[in-house]
Structures are given as structure tokens and as C-alpha cells.
Amino acid sequence: MVKPVSRVNKGIWFACIYALFLIKMKPMQQTAEIWIDQKKATLQHLNMFTGKWEVSGRNSKHAPSSLGSSIEGEEHYEWMPGKYFLINKWKHGFAEGNHSGISILGFDEKTAELYCHSFDNGGFERRYP
């Protein structure tokens, strides 16, 4: 048979549960802070791309079209507020026309690696780990 808990016992029980909750919360908070620090430190590697870039070169011999043709264009990289995502906008001209698009660079929390998610005027969407 279960006996009713007295007021004194209830108070002690709640104090113990509260203390256990606080003890568990502190490591979780520290873990979250360490994770955010790791994320920010990894994202800082992308700072070298910020700004406007002129692009020139040749299309790869493995490209689906315009093999070996010259390419010229520009790219612009800019951080979103908070500096968790770097936005890349590009426009490249080559023999058969223009290739333009946008990419989002960020930190994948599942793999703890940087990624690039791109969308272009050809209707393609690609994600690079």
C-alpha cells in the first residue's frame, strides 16, 4: 500500500528534483556553448571569401557543354546577419551564354563540416559536403 507523502517529504523531494535538474542543466548549457564556439570557429574559415571577386579561366574538359571555352564573371560573398551563413551570388559568361546563381555556405551540425548549397539559372540545386 502506498502511503501519502507528508509536506516535509514533498518539500525534500521537490528540492532534490530541482537540484538534479540544475546539475543536469549546467553541463548541457556548457556543451551547447562549446558547440556554438566550435561552429563559429569553423565558419571563420569562410571569411577569406567575403567581398567581390573577378573570375576568369577555362571551362573543364569534363563540363557538360562548352568544353574548354573561356569563362569570365564575378562572384560576391557576404555574411548574413549573425555570421552563421555566407551568401554567394555569381554570374559567369562563357561561349554558350551565362551561368548565374546563388549559394549558401554554412556549418552542418550533423557532420560538423562546412557545406555549400547552390541553386542556378539552369534549374539545378546541388549540395556539396
Average pLDDT, the chain: 79
Mean pLDDT computed over 14-21? 37
Helix, coil or strand: residue 28: helix
Beta bridge partners of 72: 56, 93
Mean pLDDT within 77-104: 94
- Count Cβ atoms within 10 A of the Cβ of residue 103 and give its class: 0-12 exposed, 13-18 middle, 19 or more buried: buried
Give dist(CA 116, CA 100) in Å, integer. Answer: 15
The mean per-residue pLDDT over the stretch 67-86 comes to 94
Which pLDDT score is estimated for 19?
A: 37
* pLDDT at 126 exceeding the cut of 50: yes
Of the ranges 2-6, 21-25, 120-124, the best mean pLDDT one = 120-124
- Going from the C-alpha of 91 to that of each of 21, 30, 85, 110, 119, the distances in angstroms are 53, 43, 20, 31, 12
Domain boundaries defined on the chain: 44-128
C-alpha closest to that of 39 among 87, 78, 83, 79: 83
Which grid coordinates are listed for 75? 562572384
